[in-house]
Amino acid sequence: MKFISADEIKYRVKELGGDLCGIAPIERFEGAPSRFHPKDVIKECKSVIVIAIRFPISTLSASSQAAYTFVRNRLADKMDSITFQVSSELENLGSCAIPIPSSDPYDYWDDIRRHGQGIISLKHAAVRAGLGQMGKNTLLINDQYGNMIWLGAVLVDKELESDQLATYQPCIPECRICLDACPGNALNGISLEQRKCRSVAGKYTEGGGFVYACNLCRKLCPHREEIK
Structural contact between residues 20 and 153, judged by C-beta atoms closer than 8 angstroms: no
Is the pTM higher than 0.85? The answer reads: yes
pLDDT of residue 13: 98
User: Which residues, in sequence order, are CB contacts of 4 under 8 Å at separation 6+?
Assistant: 12, 89, 90, 93
pLDDT of residue 113: 72
pLDDT of residue 3: 74
pLDDT of residue 125: 97
pLDDT of residue 162: 97
Total count of domains within the chain: 1
Distance CA 161, CA 187 (A): 35
Spatial CA neighbour of 149 closest among 14, 53, 50, 78: 53
Q: What end-to-end distance do the CA atoms of the chain give, in Å? A: 44
For the chain, 228 residues long, give each residue's pLDDT as a single digit of tens: 467 899 999 999 999 999 999 999 999 999 888 788 999 999 999 999 999 999 999 999 998 889 999 999 999 999 999 999 999 999 999 999 999 999 988 777 777 777 677 889 999 999 999 999 999 999 999 999 999 999 999 999 999 999 999 999 999 999 999 999 999 999 999 999 998 998 888 888 878 789 998 999 999 999 998 886
Q: Give Rg (Cα) of the chain.
A: 18
Distance CA 139, CA 50 (A): 15
* Three-class secondary structure of residue 132 per DSSP: coil
Q: Tell me which residue range forms the domain holding 87.
A: 1-228
